[in-house]
A = this chain, B = another copy of it.
Amino acid sequence: MPSFFKLKKSEDVLRLIEQFGPSGEETVPLEYALGRVVSRDVISQEDLPHFFRSVVDGYAVRSRDTFGASESLPALLTISGEILMGRQSPSGLSQGHAFRIATGGMLPENADGVVMIEHCHLLDEQTLEVSRAISPLENVIQPGDDFKKGGTVFKRGHKLRVQDLGLLAGLGRRQIRVYRKPRVAIISTGDEIVSVSEHPGPGQVRDINRYTLAAFCRSVGAEPVNAGRCPDHFEDLKTRLHKSLARAETVWISGGSSVGTRDLTLKVFETLQDFELLVHGISISPGKPTIIGKSGTKPVVGLPGHVASALVVADVFMGPLIQCLSGRTRSPENFQLEVEAVLSRNVESATGREDYVRVKLVHQKDVLVARPVFGKSGLISTLVESDGLIRIDLNTEGLYEGQKVKVRLSPHLSSSV
């Protein structure tokens, strides 16, 4: 192995990636905030709800008027009227009285509970029989029950999910400060690469990585920037790199996997201001010829040219990189999605190298089986046939047929999600 490869372990690479952070903030309307990362702690300015609210259809009462009530000895109450939805009752509740109320209605003054309609019986239009005692606050949401004024709704670094938008809507936040989406400039290099619209001549292939990497970026919340194709030529690549870095938070060069191209990527990176090389080769397969460096605070990445390798590296390392650039806080709850399956055959693995084996998941009777998809990492079809990846540890020599394995799933690569 040539000496310039000082391979790093994947956990060390992941640790190095954590140094990168978000680049700025912006304000977005709530309806477009799904998946965005909150850039400032959100504090509630009000109680949600701001009034006592019924959660059932029934009668608003003073709970003590029902104490002791039962099927055999019901409480008799006088009906004062009905609470209209979205309105305050014009009068409070007098002792021994009840107001008809629907789910979501506002309790009248002096009422402290709601009897469900199932436990009520109308003797006549004005007289209600209550066959069950309720305790104070029964069937009622109190002011602030959903969220209290002054409380922290979301901490900086929280990624907004569907239900989170609901809470923000409930609190009247029509817009929200979030970190800017990281822009990822993607440069495809290689004298052999032609655009997808061209018919490739002898020795030429279409630009696959541009599509997979751009789609990957979108699926993890980044914005891909098409920085074009470029032959394996120092000056061309240098110009393109410098230009792209000015308008993106990171530049990914998807290079050929040949030694010459890799050298070129690194040489071009070295022309950047304050360039620092962080990773020159990772002890994983596929994906070894990966270069990660930085210029100032911006990461620059040389990805393997092999299409499947590039996508495995994207999944394992570029996903976490985008998370960092998005300002998302790492929390123990952001765990890796995986599913347990039984391996269909032996898989060999070299020690000292972390292997990512592509697998297809199939149900055989009631057992989920992981069937390794073999094939050269230059073949995109190996990933098309796969549903997930099995990670084989650095210190493991292989896995056995019938062994239970954890299959790593990604929202962007697995059909299950």
Contact = CB atoms under 8 A, between A and B. Distances in A.
Interface of A: 1, 30-31, 34, 48-51, 53, 55, 57, 83-88, 102-106, 117-118, 141, 145-147, 159, 161-174, 190-194, 196-197, 199-212, 214-216, 218-219, 232, 256-261, 305-308, 311, 331-335, 337-339, 361-363, 368, 375-381, 383-384, 386-387, 409, 411-417
A381 B190 contact: no
A66 B146 CA distance: 76
By CB atoms of chain B within 10 A, which of A256, A311, A409 has the most? A256
A190 B417 contact: no
A30 B103 CA distance: 48
A335 B218 CA distance: 23
How many copies the complex holds: the figure is 2
Query: What does DSSP make chain A's interface, helix, strand, loop or mixed?
Result: loop
Contact of A215 (B165, B191, B209): B165
A210 to B, nearest CB: 7
B141 A379 contact: yes
A105 B203 contact: yes
A165 B219 CA distance: 13
A166 B209 contact: yes
A334 B378 CA distance: 27
A33 B386 CA distance: 19
Contact of A212 (B53, B87, B166, B411): B166
Contact of A415 (B205, B211, B307, B331): B331
A212 B174 CA distance: 13
B211 A117 contact: no
Contact of A165 (B201, B212, B256): B212
B361 A333 contact: yes
B162 A311 contact: yes
Contacts of A379: 141, 145-146
A103 B197 contact: no
A162 B212 contact: yes
Contacts of A387: 333
A405 to B, nearest CB: 15
A35 to B, nearest CB: 8
A193 B102 contact: no
Contacts of A145: 375-376, 379
Contacts of A311: 162-163, 166
A407 to B, nearest CB: 11
Contacts of A53: 205, 378
A311 B165 CA distance: 12
